[in-house]
Amino acid sequence: MRRRVVLYNPKAVFFTMPLGLLAVGSHLDREKYEVVIIDGRLETDPAKAVVEALEGALCLGVSVLTGRPIRDAIEVSRAAKARFPDLPVVWGGWHPSLFGTECLEEGSVDVTVQAQGEETFEEILARLEKREPLHEVKGLAFRDGKGGAVQNPGRVFSNVNGFQPHDYTLLPVERFFRLKGKRQLDYIASQGCHFRCAFCADPYVYGRKWAGLTPRRMGEELAALHARHPFDDVNFQDETFFTYLDRVEEIADELIARKLPITWAGTMRADQGDRLSDEVMAKCKRSGLRRVIIGVESGSQEMMDWIKKDIKIEQVWSAAEKCKRHGVAVNFPFIVCFPNETDESIRKSLEMARELRAMSPTFQTPIFYFKPYPGTPLTEQAVREGYRPPKTLSEWAAFDIYDADSPWVTPERARLIERYKYYLNVAYDRGTPWRKPLRKLAEWRVRTRTFSLPVEKTVSDLLAPPVSLS
């Protein structure tokens, strides 16, 4: 008889498919386990749905991101324990990868998984079935019988080609399409990242390792998925999709050869875009490339070097020009208000965002505030200089990575940046012709940095209050 395994994805704003749970669930032997994925975003009463699904289950697995999803993860885990006190609850995902033993302070959590979870979770289930201890399982932390926490050694990073293909029958794919408002498939073609950005937790979690699916496997999987769920677009949810340019060309060749009527989007570093030949970029475009995300982070080379981005501003401009020539849209995220960042450095970032946005109507330049994300070198430095990060799960649940609440964002900076962001979006919005006078006024404001009496923004915020992204 197959044992049921319930996997839960906590509530969040965006409707990206729960690829982490999909990966873990797909890797399990279907002859041994019945995998049930429940997504809190799709349920009116997530805790009730999970508890009902847990009847006779072997365990509950929960994927946990830092921030507000923690609150829902706790609520569902506690509801599961209240109904089934002996049921093992396993947390995985980014937050347990960074705080493996700390998460065990929550009484409803028995085990946490660090980094790649496919093999670790599979081994956990095998041990649970045989009622064997977890001391020898790598890549996890668990609570011992005395109430203490035990952190096991990490697991060696695995090549993703050794994992089972993702089984999208575990997800209500068509429902995600409806919620997204488009037939867009989320797909992950690689794990990890080779780079060392000091604000990012990826180097800590994956040790700067990277592994990607072979282009042929990707082509076969995407063709089969398209036959089952005809989608229009693929959103590659990789940390750095363009890591190896030869591989990217092979992926483009696969998509072209299979004549899939789709577009796609992926992540690209500026240095990768700079090195990418026009011939390969043209091939990517023919294969359906519609947009890339190029993290700029700062318009100051000094700040860029300080955060160990390991790119040059010239490479950003080179990649931008190349994308513009080939008709590829770009999202250029910026981060402002790093610890000890000067007003001049922030000004350079805002100005660069404006210049990039002005290059093409398909270029976007979202501006975010630096938040001391756990496990990063910048956060460790900030702590040495007096910053006090959240300590408890409840405090981490209130940690909003999108708001301006940080020690390095003064009211004056927040006011300038928020107004700049608003007028930048208005100035280069391709809206209806009747908005042209407003666009011209906004363009003048950002060019001259004249933001006094922001009547337009005040009215806009009243008519359409900003949506919370957390």
Burial class (CB in 10 A: 0-12, 13-18, 19+), 14: exposed
Q: Which pLDDT value is given to residue 144?
A: 85
CB 350 within 8 A of CB 310: no
- Decide if 8 contacts 76 (C-beta within 8 A): yes
Helix 343-359 crosses helix 313-325 at what angle (to 10 degrees)?
Answer: 20
114: tokens are 């660090």
Q: How far is 172 from 201, CA to CA, in rounded Å?
A: 30
Helix, coil or strand: residue 265: strand
Tokens of 276: 């990418």
Residue 470's pLDDT is what?
64
Describe the chain by its helix, strand, coil percentages, rounded to 5: 45, 15, 40
Task: Tell me what pLDDT residue 43 has.
Answer: 97
Question: How many other C-beta atoms lie within 10 A of the C-beta of residue 260?
Answer: 21
CA-based nearest residue to 176, from 122, 92, 233, 119: 233
Plot region of 5 (φ>0 → left; ψ -120 to 50 → alpha; else → beta): beta
- Report yes or no: 88 and 128 within 8 Å, Cβ to Cβ: yes
Dihedral angle sign, alpha carbons of residues 221, 225, 227, 233: negative
Cα distance between residue 281 and residue 287, in whole Å: 10
CA distance 135 to 153: 10
Longest C-alpha distance within the chain, in Å? 71
- Distance set, CA 402 to CA 95, 334, 367, 371, 423 (Å): 17, 12, 10, 8, 19
* Angle formed at CA 260 by CA 238 and CA 30, multiple of 5 degrees: 60
* Fold of domain 3-151: Rossmann fold (3.40.50)
Q: Give me the pLDDT at residue 466, please.
A: 79
pLDDT score of 467: 72
Domains in the chain: boundaries: 3-151, 182-409
Q: Which of 72, 61, 12, 14 is nearest to 36 (CA)?
A: 61
Superfamily of domain 182-409: Aldolase class I (3.20.20.70)
DSSP character string of 200-228:
-SHHHHHTT-EEE--HHHHHHHHHHHHHH
Quote the pLDDT of residue 431: 74
- Tens-binned pLDDT, residue by residue, of the chain (470 aa): 899 999 999 999 889 999 999 999 999 999 999 999 999 999 999 999 999 999 999 999 999 999 999 999 999 999 999 999 999 999 999 999 999 999 999 999 999 999 999 999 999 999 999 999 999 999 999 998 777 899 999 999 999 999 999 999 999 999 999 999 999 999 999 999 999 999 999 999 999 999 999 999 999 999 999 999 999 999 999 999 999 999 999 999 999 999 999 999 999 999 999 999 999 999 999 999 999 999 999 999 999 999 999 999 999 999 999 999 999 999 999 999 999 999 999 999 999 999 999 999 999 999 999 999 888 999 999 999 999 999 999 999 999 888 888 999 999 999 999 999 999 999 998 777 778 889 999 999 999 999 998 998 999 889 888 777 76
Query: Cβ contacts of residue 184 below 8 Å, gap of 6+?
Result: 177, 231, 232, 233, 234, 235
pLDDT at 412: 95
pLDDT of amino acid 54 = 98
- Burial bucket for residue 193 (CB in 10 Å: 0-12, 13-18, 19+): buried
